[in-house]
Amino acid sequence: MPVYLTLFQWTDSGVKNIKEAPGRMAEGRKTAEKFGGKVLGLYAMMGKYDLFSVTEWPNDEAATTAALAISSRGNVRTTTLRAYTEAEFAEIAKKLP
């Protein structure tokens, strides 16, 4: 399945209720499964972004639906990026003129 990297930033509400974050992260895993995804890793981090996840999704639509469902709860904003393996990228590069 395609792999995606999602960057999360806490909203004001998310920071205000930070002690609830571990439970919200577990809910996010359930949301991913509901839309056909699999969370390969979820990490808290320092810097511009507060969390990131590495996930697998059957397609872009499923990844987008889950990101919107999670963001609509009001605790995070998301930026989702499609990641390509070296082999996938090599196949893409072969198609270049």
pTM: 0.89
User: What is the predicted pLDDT for the residue at 85?
Assistant: 95
20 secondary structure, DSSP code:
G
DSSP E strand boundaries for the chain: 3-10, 38-44, 51-56, 76-83
On average, the pLDDT of the chain sits at 96
Identify the CATH number of the domain defined by range 3-94.
Answer: 3.30.70.60
Distance CA 93, CA 45 (A): 32
Distance CA 6, CA 51 (A): 8
Half-sphere exposure of 78 (CA within 13 A, CB side): 22
Q: How confident is the model at residue 95 (pLDDT cuts 50, 70, 90)?
A: very high
